[in-house]
Amino acid sequence: MLKAGAKRAAGAYVAADGVAVVAARLVSDGETIFEIGEVAIQPIAGVGPEALEAAIAEALSPLAPEIAGIGGPEMAAPWAGTLEFSGPLLAEVLGCPVAADLRLGGSGGPMSASLADALARMAPEAGPLLLLEIDSASTRATYADPSLKAANDGALLAFEAGPGLPDFGMTPKGGSADDKALDLLLADPHFLRLAPKVLGPKAFSAYLDHLRSLPHEDAEATSLAAIALSLVTGLDLLPKAPRRALVLGPARHEPRLLAALREGLGCDVETAEDAGFPGAALHALAAAHLAIRAASGLPTSFPGTTGVRTAVGGASLSRPGTLA
């Protein structure tokens, strides 16, 4: 029996390689997560909106949600350019309301912010949480303080902290961080900006140019040091020091990076799996949680995460029976 106000929700997003939809289920009232359920992966059999809609429906249907959430414009297969799907059609097929994340301007990540807040509230006694998503492009950080309501100042903060971890085919050991590269990194004006913030098209260009000139082993070691250094620098942006960090993204599988983060951040650092969460499906859980918040009239975008002036809702809602 569900707790009062709780809903079974499922969320979906397109995997990074663009060939499958990842879906996951949770039970939440929009603030507290009571249960994390199954994960489903459905290949996208074809190209175009129809193939994407079919894959979303096939991934979500077995999870039997009361409400479903679909990632927003940032959720796109490489061939899609921008995400195109019919919310009313999916609502009709699934037999439940479908919420789609929509950007409201500003910068940051409303989906990851709502999820970070909920994950922090699963263990409020553990203190402020830093949710880190690290891939080949960038390092994105979301800070959540469970002692404060999400809409309060200082409760949530989201920003792109620095460069990501290029796919070097990491070697077990060897190489050393290049001091010149790290000096070029810290000289980038991105570090002078306040959060929330996203990387510009030429961010860290001097650092990246120099990185490409280094021997393979030194470039690896430098990239690891650069991520840790970026996050240590980013600690100055946070209202309180984080007590724990949860690492998502492909780079979570690199033990040397985890060791560098533990040393630099000075707090507990775990991968999503180590903390008991499905690391490959947290974006799907974020979409599910966002759907519940949207349907419950709770805000999904905050001044500290997207730069909006006040906490606002940010999802469209399609219901069964409205398809013309």
- Cβ neighbours around 301 below 10 Å, total: 28
pLDDT score recorded for residue 110: 53
Q: Which of 19-33, 158-172, 178-192 has the lowest mean pLDDT?
A: 158-172
Dist. CA 287–CA 13, nearest whole Å: 8
Give percent above pLDDT 70 in the chain.
Answer: 89
How high does pLDDT run on average in the chain?
87
Q: Is the model more confident about 309 or about 242? A: 242
- The domain ranges of the chain are 110-271
- Contact assessment for residue 234 and residue 265, using Cβ atoms and an 8 Å cutoff: no
Q: How confident is the model at residue 105 (pLDDT cuts 50, 70, 90)?
A: very low
132 has a pLDDT exceeding 90:
yes
Q: Residue 31 above 60 pLDDT?
A: yes
Count the helices and strands in the chain (H runs, E runs).
9, 11
Q: What is the pLDDT of residues 197-245, one digit of tens each?
A: 989 889 999 999 999 999 999 999 999 999 999 999 999 999 999 999 9
Residue 195: burial class (beta carbons within 10 Å; 0-12, 13-18, 19+): buried
Tens of pLDDT, residue by residue over 48-70, are 778 888 999 999 999 999 999 98
Alpha carbon distance, N-terminus to C-terminus of the chain:
35
pTM of the prediction? 0.88
- The fold for domain 110-271 equals Nucleotidyltransferase; domain 5 (3.30.420)
Output 4 or 26, whichever has higher pLDDT: 26
- Rg, the chain, Cα only: 20
pLDDT in tens, 247-287: 988 888 889 999 999 999 999 999 999 999 988 888 899 88
Grade residue 106 by pLDDT with cuts at 50, 70 and 90.
very low
* Residue 79, pLDDT above cutoff 50: no
Question: Per-residue pLDDT for 84 more than 70?
Answer: no
